[in-house]
Structure 1
Amino acid sequence: MTHPDPQTRPDDVTVELPRTPAERVRSGFWRELSGALAVGLSGLALVVLVLQVIAWTRGVPGPGIGVVLGHFAAAGAALVAQRFADRRRGPEAALAVVVVAIATGVAIWFFWWA
């Protein structure tokens, strides 16, 4: 039987074993919540875009290009901050989590409640 990569022999392969429950590192409730907010805001931006496209095809005003761009800007900021939060620890990660919450709050406030 031949190995899929001719440069690598089977004895050169390193296998990482799964961690035991005691070794698993949890990211924490707030970081997980901010991740859910960032993903939710991204999904909301896509929904608003689809609604605008449907509105254009039917000849009605729809949410408007400003609202669509605002949703994508807020989602982009939240995703960048979440990526930063996922890769840092301590106060830097906490600040990034707060940025995700602020981006979500601003988008909801200005585009849905105000």
Structure 2
Amino acid sequence: MDNSPTVPLAASGATTVALGPSAPSRRRGGFGRELAGALTVGLCVLAVVVLVFQVLAWVRGVPGPGPAMVFGHLGAAVLAVLVQRVADRATGAAATVAALGVVAVTGATMWFLWWA
């Protein structure tokens, strides 16, 4: 015999009360917007890594990446986050252009701060 307490789910004659507006249906982002989001996260992680390496270099008394590299990555990460916010909130052509903007910021960051 089970002696665990039970609570009735609803009493007879009970009414349902809505607690607030229903959540709006979320649309799918699409591959381009998801790729732009991944690139944005990657730039943010890379900016933190470069900053940590610069701090470690200061602590150990070695040159490190340098201020141009640190500020370049931090600026690119902030810019990518701002453009990604536009891509996430906009629809149609504006979202596509913003997602392409994130790709351009990422490409420029890689080119000017790593490869060139």
**TM over 0.5: same fold?**
yes
Please tell me the residue identity of whatever aligns with 1:44. Answer: L
TM-score normalized by structure 1?
A: 0.81
TM-score normalized by structure 2?
A: 0.79
Give 4+ residue runs of structure 1 displaced > 4 Å after superposition.
Answer: none
Deviations 1:26-52 (A, max 9, x none): 110000000000011001000000000
Residue number in structure 1 paired with 2:19: 13
Residue number in structure 1 paired with 2:28: 26
Q: In structure 1, list runs of 5 or more residues that go unmatched.
A: 1-9
Alignment: residue pair count: 101
After superposition, residues 28-107 of structure 1 pair within 5 angstroms as 28-107=30-109
Q: In structure 2, list runs of 5 or more residues that go unmatched.
A: 1-15
Deviations 1:66-110 (A, max 9, x none): 110000111111100000000001111111011101110111111
The whole-number CA distance in structure 1 between the counterparts of 2:75 and 2:26 is 34
Rg comparison, structure with higher value: 2
Identity %: 51
The whole-number CA distance in structure 1 between the counterparts of 2:18 and 2:93 is 40
Change (3 A) 1:26 1:62: same
The whole-number CA distance in structure 2 between the counterparts of 1:12 and 1:113 is 57
